[in-house]
Chains A and B, each alone.
Chain A
Amino acid sequence: MRQYILRRFLQSIPTLLMLTIITFGFMQSAPGDFVDAMIDPAALTSNSEQVLAEQRAALGLDQPVVIQYVNWVGQLVQGNLGYSFVYKRPVLGMIAERLWATIQLGGAAIIVAVIIGVSAGMVSGLRPYSKFDYIVSVLSYGAWSFPNFYLGLILIYIFAVQLKILPSAGMLTPGVDDVGDRLKHLILPVTALCVQFIGQFARQTRSAVLEVRSEDYVNTARAKGLRPRRITMHHILPNALIPIITVIGLSVPVLITGAIVTEMVFSWSGMGTLMINAITARDYPVVMGTVLVIGMVVLGVNLIVDMLYAVVDPRIRYN
C-alpha cells in the first residue's frame, strides 16, 4: 500500500514539471509583451525605445528564455510566483485571496451535485425503466448539453431581475456581512454550475447500480433469502459507489472549467475572473500563476482519488 502511494506520488512529478514547461512555453511565445501593451503608440518618441528597453530589463524580459525559465522555477519552488505586471503585487498573494472564493463555489457545487445526482442515480438504477428513471434520463441528457453560462443568464433573469428574490452578482452585499447573505449569493452560481454534474453523476450511478445488481454475489444474497432492503443497502450500494469516486475525481477539471465561466457570469471574484482578466490584460505572471495553481490542484485531486480508490478497492494496488 505504502509502495503504491509512493509510486503514484513520484509519477506525478514529471507531469508537474511538464506542466511548468508548457505553461512557460506558451507565455513565452505570446506576441508582444506587457511593455508593448501598456505604451500608447501615439506617445512614442525617438528615445522611447530606450525607455522600453529599460522597462523590459527591470522586469527581466531581456534575459534568455532558458534563464528566465530557470529563474522562474527557482522562485516557484520557494513559493514565489512572481509579481503581477499590472498590479505590481505578488501573484501568490493575489491567488491566495481568490482561491477560497473558487473553492467555496466549486465545493458547494460538487457537494450538491453528488447528493442529488447520486441519489437520483441510485433510485433510477434500482428501478430501471420506471417513470422516475425515464424522467432522470431525459433531464440528465438535457443538463449535459445545456451551456452553463446560458443557464446562469436565465437564472439571473428569472430570480434576480423578474422575481427579485436573489442577488444577481457578487459574493456579498457591501455593508451586510452575515452567513445568510453569503449563502443567498451562492445559490444561483452553485445552481448554474452543478446542474451538468447532477446529470452526469446520475447517469454514472445508474449504470453502476445496474451492473452490480446482476453480479453473482447479489444473486447469492437473494437466493439465501435476505430481505431486499438488506441486499440493497449492504450488497448493491457499497459496491456500486466505488466507481463513483473516480467519476467525481475525473469531473474536477471540468468543474474548474465550469467555475471559471460561472464566475464570469456572476462577477464572482475567484480564480476564474482573476485569470480571464489577466489574459485580457496580458498579465503573464498572473496567467502562469493561475494556470499552474489550477493544474496542481487537478494533479493533487487525481492523486487523492487514485489513493482513495486503492484504499477502497484492493485489486488496484497489485496492478
Chain B
Amino acid sequence: MTTSTLPKLNTAPRVRQRHRVIRKFMRNRMALFGLIILTVIVVAAAAAPAITAQSPYRTDLRAIRQAPSEAHLLGTDIAGRDVFTRVLYGARISLLVGIGTIVLYGVTGVVFGLIAGYYGGWVDTVIMRISDTLMSIPTLLVVLMLVTITEPNVANIIFAIAVSRWPGITRLVRGQVLTVKQLEYVSAARSIGASGYRIMAVHLLPNILAPAIVSLSFGMASAILAEASLSFLGVGIRPPEPSWGTMLNEARALSVLTEMPWFWVPPGLMTAITVLCINFVGDGLRDALDPRMKEI
C-alpha cells in the first residue's frame, strides 16, 4: 500500500485533546458521581449470580408477598420470587436495552446522516422525508405499533425503540456534515482523489461525532425509560422476565400497591437512579466534548 511510504502522522495533538476531554469530564462533579454510581450498577448487574444465590424466576408458593427479612432482603413478590434478585437481574435488561438501542440507532443514524449530508440530492430528500415523518409521530406510537406486530422480547424492543430514534441522530449528523464538508481540508481530500467512502469515514466522521455521542448518551437514558414504560403498559417485556417496568406493572393492582411497597418501590427507584446517572454523564460529556452546545 502507498500508506507505508508516507511519513508517519503525528498523533500527539489528538491524544492531548483526548486528555483534555477526560480532564474536563472529571472536573464535573455531578458527571463523575453519575459515572461512579453507574459503574456500580453495571458491575452489580454483571455479577448478579455472584451477589445472589437465588434465581430471579424460581417461584415459592409457600413464601408469597413476604415483607423484607434476612432470607429475602427486599421481600418476595406475588409468586414468591425474591425481589432483590429480580431487581438485580432487572438491571441487566435495562442496561442491555439502553446500550443495544443506542448502538443500533447510533450506527444507523450516523450512516444515514453522513450519506444524506455528503451526497445531498435525491438521496438526501428521501432520507430526510422519511425521518421527518417518523419524527412527526410521537415515539411511543411508533414503538407501540412495532411491538404490536412483533413478539415482545428484548431484541424487538431494542429494534422498536431504535426505529423511532434514528431520525434525530441523522438530522444532527447531516447538519454537521453540511457545515464540515464546506471546509477546505475536505475539498483537498477530494482533489487528491479520495473516494466518497474514504472522505466520510476518515475525514468527516471523526469531526462530526461529538454531538452525536452526547445525544446518544441522553438517548440511552430515554431508551431505558421507554422500555420501562412499555413493560409497565404490559406491551413490553413479558413476565416472568425480571424487568423493572414489568415489576411496576404488577403494582397497578391496588392490593399490591397498598400492601407491598417493598416490592414496587425498589424497581422504580432503580429506574430513576439509573436514568438520572446516565443523564449526569451525558451532561458531563456535553460540557467536555462540545462547550458550544448548551441545551438539548
A residues with a Cβ closer than 8 A to B are: 14-15, 18-19, 22-23, 26-27, 29-31, 141-142, 144-147, 149-150, 153-154, 156-157, 161, 168, 203-204, 207, 253-254, 256-257, 260-261, 264-265, 275-276, 279-280, 282, 287, 291, 294-295, 298-299, 302
Cβ B295 vs Cβ A203 within 8 A: yes
Cβ A153 vs Cβ B149 within 8 A: no
Cβ B271 vs Cβ A150 within 8 A: yes
| Contact flags B194-235 to A (C-beta < 8 A → 1, else 0) | 000000000000000000000000000100010011001111
The residue in chain B whose Cβ has the minimal distance to the Cβ of A26 is B145
Question: What are some 25 contacts across the A-B interface (CB < 8 A)?
Answer: A14-B129, A18-B130, A19-B136, A22-B134, A22-B145, A142-B276, A146-B272, A147-B225, A147-B228, A147-B271, A147-B272, A147-B275, A149-B228, A149-B229, A149-B248, A150-B268, A157-B257, A204-B295, A207-B295, A253-B137, A256-B138, A257-B138, A276-B233, A279-B147, A287-B145
**B residues less than 8 Å from A276 (CB atoms):** 144, 233-235
Q: How many angstroms between the C-alpha atoms of A131 and B232 in the bound complex? A: 37
Among A15, A150, A276, A291, the most chain B Cβ lie within 10 Å of the Cβ of A150
**B residues less than 8 Å from A254 (CB atoms):** 138
Cβ B139 vs Cβ A161 within 8 A: no
> Among B228, B252, B275, which residue has its beta carbon within 8 angstroms of that of A265?
B252
A-B contact count (CB 8 A): 125
**A residues less than 8 Å from B145 (CB atoms):** 22-23, 26-27, 287, 291
Given the contacts A26-B145, A291-B141, A150 and B257 also touching, CB distance less than 8 Å: no
Cβ A26 vs Cβ B235 within 8 A: no
Cβ A275 vs Cβ B254 within 8 A: no
CB distance from A184 to the nearest CB of B (A): 18
| Contact flags B136-158 to A (C-beta < 8 A → 1, else 0) | 11111100111111000000000
Cβ B133 vs Cβ A22 within 8 A: yes
Q: How many angstroms between the C-alpha atoms of A206 and B251 in the bound complex? A: 37
> Among A23, A145, A257, A280, which residue has its beta carbon within 8 angstroms of that of B272?
A145
**A residues less than 8 Å from B136 (CB atoms):** 15, 19, 295, 298-299, 302
The residue in chain A whose Cβ has the minimal distance to the Cβ of B133 is A18
Cβ A145 vs Cβ B229 within 8 A: no
Q: How many angstroms between the C-alpha atoms of A261 and B245 in the bound complex? A: 12
Q: How many angstroms between the C-alpha atoms of A141 and B218 in the bound complex? A: 12
**B residues less than 8 Å from A291 (CB atoms):** 137, 141, 144-145
Cβ A156 vs Cβ B257 within 8 A: yes
> Across chains A and B, which 5 residue pairs bring their CB atoms closest together, nearest first?
A150-B268, A253-B138, A145-B276, A257-B140, A18-B133
B245-286 residues at the A interface, CB under 8 angstroms:
248, 251-252, 254, 257-258, 261, 264, 268, 271-272, 275-276, 279
Given the contacts A18-B129, A145-B272, A153 and B235 also touching, CB distance less than 8 Å: no
The residue in chain A whose Cβ has the minimal distance to the Cβ of B30 is A141
CB distance from B291 to the nearest CB of A (A): 14
Cβ A145 vs Cβ B257 within 8 A: no
Cβ B137 vs Cβ A29 within 8 A: no
**B residues less than 8 Å from A275 (CB atoms):** 144
Q: How many angstroms between the C-alpha atoms of A26 and B137 in the bound complex? A: 14
Additional 5 contacts, C-beta under 8 A, given A150-B271, A156-B257, A299-B136? A147-B275, A150-B248, A253-B138, A256-B140, A291-B144
**B residues less than 8 Å from A144 (CB atoms):** 279
CB distance from B49 to the nearest CB of A (A): 27
